[in-house]
Structure 1
């Protein structure tokens, strides 16, 4: 066996030097194979044999080689070698042992050879689609995108591809990734941002693909654990009405009885979405499946568990559909336990497709944010001990545990427990009262001299020192810390006594109380982390709402590029990032930098822009009123209201108005709503209805006009005559005084860069492209885009926005534009 068949001469020489510098002791290398499978590059990942298997594996990517030397020159694998090799081999990695001179080799696990694919077998003139699916229109752009993805699969590379609206990108990425996965027995994860796209994949695209490929592969949509009913939690709740019950308690017990009936006679999945009626989150949280409340195989309901039944098929599936939030929840677990783990939400995967990939940065940042709030604190404390309803099982986990202990212990034993319980209850009440006092003081602090319904504010301790509310909150926090210490002592003493009895706890009453206690400790850690605000790399801020009085505290990382690069991008290469809006100035520099792909080493990331097949020059008319006031002018919207009214009436409604703030939306809505006859027009304002209902109303109403902000700039698909006009009121720059945006801007300044050009403009361009994309959704669609913000024609950076529009735009006065529209 020649070593040159596995490691290049240059790499072998350099490895020998590293081993010599380690005095001939054991050195572990990460071997990076070239296209022929020969290790041509490497890096040292450990010296000596003290590194754990998990630590070694966590430094490796998929489809690479762990190489280490045996100083003795005897290249027979040890038990530890076999352990490492088998674990890494399960996820597609190889393992070699070499001698100190790196001229002899033992291949413990060979580098896997992958079968390459050619999608021309399907898309070509004599391909499967042409022969068997005559009605299926293969678009040139779709084929072009699929070929690039085929290349990334065959060459084990990452690919960023912007695919214009109408490309048919779901089939373009599903076909090559699935064929490659089936041929090589791999697993694909497709991560999306919206439920709409998940439903399209499950109900339309994947069934069609099964017919095209003619392979019976398994696919599953992976839902979060909280969507499933937990039988143990459900059947532990008290459902018998008592005379002392309040009306709310009676209503809740009736709902629980209905859920029991649903579980026993109706549902086979336990999925909340199957319920024919709405159920409040506060009640669902009492009965849903939760990771830290799960007893696993020790649960009496394990064999019938809805959650585990749903998970059984996932490990066998070739294709998994998830949302971005779940993907990053899984990644956070891998960050703690190692990338190749059996403890994550998802099974180990080999290929990832991020659809709607422009949302990755915000989703990841939200997921790695620490959060606490007055409402969540009260709910957690109520789940442990609710002093308002202590006479029922709804009095919290402590009350249910005490009822169980009373039935399971002798009177003498229970008396000892009962005495300790009094101390626990006293400390719980003190802790709860002090916590609520702190949140109330913070509410006063942040809402001082501010009448807004929602306030977002950075927690700046230096600036807040002058406020008596801040000083009082900090004094209370010192007492809160003391209360917490006393509470921990009392609960530990109580649990130690109970645990000494070695109770069976079949129904999990002791287990559940212990889990809530762990949640309380984790909650307090987050609260202190945010309030102390010492960790660099985070912005600490508060959100206060007065409609439903609440204060939320956050610690948000303002740069997640390192996190994503270290914990995901360095672990695997077959990754596709796709969306209709990723490029700015026909480049992906901003996108790559924002999520950490710019830090990639060793392997080039392929990039491609696939233009839309739609003829925007013919299908879309663009109007920009040159005499509009500057959007910073307080009279900006008032000056345009007459123009907007006439522009909407020129298309008889059938219009989206996209705003960047609720205040501007409500101002214009209130100014012009009386000018539209309710018999002739249907006005739909965001927050008057749930988002999905707004879209349905728009699709099926007479002359609809939709007033929407942030979430309506993307993910909305209305084809045909029902949508004829999109009016963009302002360029969608993020609000600069938003605490997170402010922190990102400050961080960019600290790094010597220009936050406006390097962050705010690219962000806004991507959002702008999403908004423009709402209008033309098929080859037969046509309509108007009206941009009211004159900065697009008067500022230098406006060119970046204009590049997203067809060249035949009309830049004239409001009156001239209205004449043209007639």
Structure 2
């Protein structure tokens, strides 16, 4: 599309939108963001790499900005616009508010849909069978080898099941969990949800809710998705659930989560006893394939039996090797039942055992392929055997998934390292619910090369956006995390919030001790009430659940009424908080890190924000420990390169809870004297919005 035509479309859409909205006020930052997106999409900065990284402060209206710039370009270039978010709240805002608002004023018009994971949909066959009273044997499910039958349904579950079956039968319910008017019992839903290994197109279930939803996605021009589903699809090559990357303009909102979600997608967790038992049960079942495939399948069945016969002993050897090493204390876990492996060769000769297991799992996976194909062909030839063949296909698919996870897990655990290559975090853990179960776990620390391979180098265009992408006033921390380079053609924009931050006060009391002091908990119990006095709408943020619960107990003993995270659902707590504020009753919310992000309490719902401690992460998880160790081995400083930038970003997010509209005001009280006592304090303060700093 010629640039002039695209720019005309954007301007005309903006004109129609601004005229239709009552009290519309133009926002300079929003218009600038639209313009910068347009330049990137038109290739003005780099025609070969159309990537924009934009930090857009609270109040800019970034969602309407990227809809205005993105939809006309995607429609004109016959691409799909895929908007990915980290939180359900933003997905709901886009689907229920922003997209319907923009739709009547946009030319060309567009259709939009919300993409959800398979587990959010029921399996129509399971729903029908369970409603008809058919026993749901677990023979072909992942938990098949732990039990033979599901627990009987309670009376309440039976009533809910009957209602769901009736609604699905008369087409008043489409079979997705989120659209059911009341919460669905979790244990009931586990028996109903669609799963990859039991819900495949070859089974002829195109009328199932999941496949109907996927068909609707193909007709949509704009697809809203979450980061986990997007990256799961990309990690499998793309085009599995969502369109192929080459056909997409990606808008990654809340993009500061992308690296962490990518790490999760690349992680492995091998439960050795569970996998071995699963394979042993599968080995006993393989003789039933003879009845389904007959003489034509003997060669393939023989290869499968050989593959299983090799894999089971290899798993047994690995489990015994680790179990013996733990009993001899050659390997010792910490208090949490965890043992992290440092970079280099694995201890106790595990490299050789894992190499054998990797080869055997690869052989096993190759043997499953022909069986799957022959069963699918047999399904066409013998419709009368459909139930048995469908069950066998589900079993084969489940074993294929397990075999691939085993192969890929061994590969990650064995990954060789070099001075220029970041190693994965690798550790052994004992299952907290089964002390006899040994878990082998690994997580890639550096995922930038994966994101480059999966998306950046393939997508038609990418826009990454968030209110907090910089750390210590620089994009470097984010850029390194997601695999971008300063010279790769990506364009960066930083737009400050239009809010008047001088209307809010930042107070740093001169306290007697720092958070590292053993007296800090007592100090919080003493000082928090002082800063709650005469305040009507307060939020107190803690760095840990332990500290929050201890402070809550201390304040309640003094007669304070508190709404504490974890004592009710987040939605219920916020609703009660708003009711109290509307009734002009003092209300105090206690929360941890998850309340520092995505919490929207505008106006009189929050005027007093207390942050008890700077949000430095304590490197106690194997992933954090491994990252800090690798930075040190590479000659770096983990605190300066990892802890401080991340704390800066999280502190900005936490402070962002206070001002949510142009007219908001209030104060932030930071009960951590390190902001003034440590050398890094000024850098953290300078990265914050320009609040009015007061001395108490």
TM bin, normalised by shorter chain, reads 0.7 to 0.9
Residue 221 of structure 2 is aligned to residue 318 of structure 1 = yes
The residue matched to 1:732 in structure 2 has which SS?
coil
Q: CA RMSD in A?
A: 4.7
Residue 100 of structure 2 is aligned to residue 217 of structure 1 = no
* Equivalent residue number for residue 38 of structure 1: none
Q: Given the alignment, which residue of 578, 602, 608 partners 2:465?
A: 578
Distance 2:325 2:554 in 1: 36
CA drift at 1:720: 2.4
Taking a change above 3 Å as real, the CA distance of residues 382 and 495 of structure 1, as seen in their structure-2 partners, is: same
Distance 2:401 2:439 in 1: 18
- 721-730 or 356-365: which moved more? 721-730
* Equivalent residue number for residue 50 of structure 1: none
* Equivalent residue number for residue 279 of structure 1: 185
* Equivalent residue number for residue 341 of structure 2: 459
Distance 2:255 2:215 in 1: 29
1:470-489 aligned within 5 A: none
CA drift at 1:551: 6.3
- 588-597 or 253-262: which moved more? 253-262
CA drift at 1:261: 4.8
Taking a change above 3 Å as real, the CA distance of residues 525 and 214 of structure 1, as seen in their structure-2 partners, is: closer
The answer to whether the Cα contact below 8 Å between 1:539 and 1:557 also exists between their aligned partners in 2 is yes
Q: Given the alignment, which residue of 278, 283, 301 partners 2:205?
A: 301
The answer to whether the Cα contact below 8 Å between 1:289 and 1:307 also exists between their aligned partners in 2 is yes
TM-score relative to the length of structure 2: 0.80
Taking a change above 3 Å as real, the CA distance of residues 802 and 552 of structure 1, as seen in their structure-2 partners, is: farther
Distance 1:117 1:752 in 2: 49
* Equivalent residue number for residue 242 of structure 2: 345
Distance 2:364 2:40 in 1: 54
The residue matched to 2:533 in structure 1 has which SS?
helix
The answer to whether the Cα contact below 8 Å between 2:311 and 2:364 also exists between their aligned partners in 1 is no
The residue matched to 1:650 in structure 2 has which SS?
coil
* Equivalent residue number for residue 606 of structure 1: 491
Residue 571 of structure 2 is aligned to residue 689 of structure 1 = no
Q: Given the alignment, which residue of 100, 117, 131 partners 2:19?
A: 131
Q: Deviations over 1:696-753 (max 9, x none)?
A: 4433445433332222221111122222222212211222343212222233334443
The answer to whether the Cα contact below 8 Å between 1:447 and 1:544 also exists between their aligned partners in 2 is no
CA drift at 1:779: 2.1
Residue 408 of structure 2 is aligned to residue 514 of structure 1 = no
Taking a change above 3 Å as real, the CA distance of residues 397 and 344 of structure 1, as seen in their structure-2 partners, is: farther
CA drift at 1:315: 2.2
The answer to whether the Cα contact below 8 Å between 1:192 and 1:198 also exists between their aligned partners in 2 is yes
- 762-771 or 720-729: which moved more? 720-729
Higher RCO (C-alpha 8 Å, min separation 6):
2
Distance 1:443 1:207 in 2: 59
Distance 1:783 1:807 in 2: 10
Taking a change above 3 Å as real, the CA distance of residues 542 and 634 of structure 1, as seen in their structure-2 partners, is: farther
CA drift at 1:638: 1.6
The answer to whether the Cα contact below 8 Å between 1:371 and 1:526 also exists between their aligned partners in 2 is no
Q: Deviations over 1:788-811 (max 9, x none)?
A: 111111222212221204352123
1:705-784 aligned within 5 A: 705-784=588-667
The answer to whether the Cα contact below 8 Å between 1:397 and 1:509 also exists between their aligned partners in 2 is no
* Equivalent residue number for residue 175 of structure 2: 270
CA drift at 1:265: 4.1
Q: Deviations over 1:467-521 (max 9, x none)?
A: xxx89xx79989x969x89x969x98x979x979957342312212222222332
The residue matched to 1:583 in structure 2 has which SS?
coil
Taking a change above 3 Å as real, the CA distance of residues 499 and 806 of structure 1, as seen in their structure-2 partners, is: closer
1:584-733 aligned within 5 A: 584-598=471-485, 601=488, 603=489, 605-618=490-503, 620-652=504-536, 654-677=537-560, 681-686=561-566, 688-701=567-580, 703-733=586-616
Distance 1:426 1:539 in 2: 31
Q: Deviations over 1:523-577 (max 9, x none)?
A: 4335544665756721102455747877654211111122222332222463212
The residue matched to 2:223 in structure 1 has which SS?
strand
Distance 1:311 1:749 in 2: 47
* Equivalent residue number for residue 22 of structure 1: none
Q: Given the alignment, which residue of 681, 684, 687 partners 1:801?
A: 684
Taking a change above 3 Å as real, the CA distance of residues 233 and 152 of structure 1, as seen in their structure-2 partners, is: same
TM-score relative to the length of structure 1: 0.69
Structure 2, gaps ≥5 residues long:
137-146, 297-302
CA drift at 1:136: 2.5
Taking a change above 3 Å as real, the CA distance of residues 409 and 174 of structure 1, as seen in their structure-2 partners, is: closer
1:362-381 aligned within 5 A: 362-373=260-271, 378=274
Q: Deviations over 1:647-694 (max 9, x none)?
A: 123314x322222223322332333232234xxx233133x3344444
* Equivalent residue number for residue 116 of structure 1: 6
The answer to whether the Cα contact below 8 Å between 2:449 and 2:483 also exists between their aligned partners in 1 is yes
Residue 30 of structure 2 is aligned to residue 142 of structure 1 = yes
The answer to whether the Cα contact below 8 Å between 2:264 and 2:443 also exists between their aligned partners in 1 is yes
Taking a change above 3 Å as real, the CA distance of residues 730 and 300 of structure 1, as seen in their structure-2 partners, is: same
CA drift at 1:202: 0.8
Q: Given the alignment, which residue of 151, 173, 187 partners 1:249?
A: 151
The answer to whether the Cα contact below 8 Å between 1:541 and 1:554 also exists between their aligned partners in 2 is yes
CA drift at 1:765: 0.7
The residue matched to 2:218 in structure 1 has which SS?
coil
The answer to whether the Cα contact below 8 Å between 2:511 and 2:671 also exists between their aligned partners in 1 is no
Distance 2:96 2:56 in 1: 22
The answer to whether the Cα contact below 8 Å between 1:656 and 1:707 also exists between their aligned partners in 2 is yes
CA drift at 1:262: 5.2
Distance 1:802 1:123 in 2: 40
1:195-234 aligned within 5 A: 195-213=88-106, 215-234=108-127
* Equivalent residue number for residue 34 of structure 1: none
- 529-538 or 515-524: which moved more? 529-538
CA drift at 1:442: 9.2
* Equivalent residue number for residue 525 of structure 1: 407
Aligned residue pairs, count: 658
Taking a change above 3 Å as real, the CA distance of residues 689 and 383 of structure 1, as seen in their structure-2 partners, is: farther
* Equivalent residue number for residue 253 of structure 2: 355
The residue matched to 2:269 in structure 1 has which SS?
strand
* Equivalent residue number for residue 102 of structure 1: none
The residue matched to 1:197 in structure 2 has which SS?
helix
Distance 1:500 1:357 in 2: 41
Distance 1:574 1:120 in 2: 18
Structure 1, gaps ≥5 residues long:
1-110, 335-340, 387-395, 414-419, 812-816, 818-822
Distance 1:790 1:649 in 2: 21
The answer to whether the Cα contact below 8 Å between 1:628 and 1:640 also exists between their aligned partners in 2 is no
* Equivalent residue number for residue 101 of structure 1: none
Residue 70 of structure 2 is aligned to residue 177 of structure 1 = yes
Q: Deviations over 1:356-415 (max 9, x none)?
A: 1111111111111122347xx64x7787888xxxxxxxxx9987x989988x899x99xx
Taking a change above 3 Å as real, the CA distance of residues 572 and 622 of structure 1, as seen in their structure-2 partners, is: same
Taking a change above 3 Å as real, the CA distance of residues 248 and 572 of structure 1, as seen in their structure-2 partners, is: closer
